[in-house]
Structure 1
């Protein structure tokens, strides 16, 4: 992947008719089921939500993931914000 200014990497999201998605820049698949897929990408954590989703192609060496199903949303979360949120939840549990 080609680098951008500031040490960031490029990433592409190609969505076809909300039914087929190709993502580049994927580092790791955190979790997945039919309604939610969590990806660690070069630009942050990417949350995919939808129905009847399944991974049709995954190549972590090349950083490519393809998903089919009905996609409802694609949301980036900052990794640091996600970990802070987890600490807040634990803090509430142990109060």
Structure 2
């Protein structure tokens, strides 16, 4: 049997700052009622808000739906663990 990988594109749909649907989700790294961090096909995504709860989670389809009051949505770039400890000169002269 062939394993089917998620082909959903990364997308965000926010309705009235209360319902957020995220597509292209690979993993949920952190989930509290005030802070959500997910790995997506386009990088790490952080959502901050109040009274947030997961309405739907389907990692096979790469979709998460969150309800609550959304205050902020931001992307962060992942830094490989080895790069965090190296200084600027070490990274320049690899």
CA-to-partner distance for each residue in 1:35-73, whole Å, 9 max, x for gaps? 000000000000000000001100001000000000000
Higher helix share: 1
Structure number with greater Rg is 2
The runs of at least 4 consecutive aligned structure 1 residues that moved more than 3 Å come to: 83-88
How many residues end up aligned between the 2 structures?
80
Q: CA RMSD in A?
A: 2.0
The unaligned stretches of length 5 or more in structure 2 are 1-6, 87-94
In 2, the alpha carbon distance for the partners of 1:51 and 1:86 equals: 31
> Residue in 1 aligned with 2:28?
29
The TM-score, its normalising length taken from structure 2, stands at: 0.77
Aligned to 1:7: none
SS in 1 for 2:10: coil
Distance of aligned partners of 1:73 and 1:61 in 2 relative to their CA distance in 1, 3 Å threshold = same
Distance in 2, Cα, partners of 1:86 & 1:48: 23
Q: Cα–Cα, structure 1 residues 55 and 85, in superposed 2: closer, same or farther, change >3 Å?
A: farther
TM-score, normalising length: structure 1: 0.76
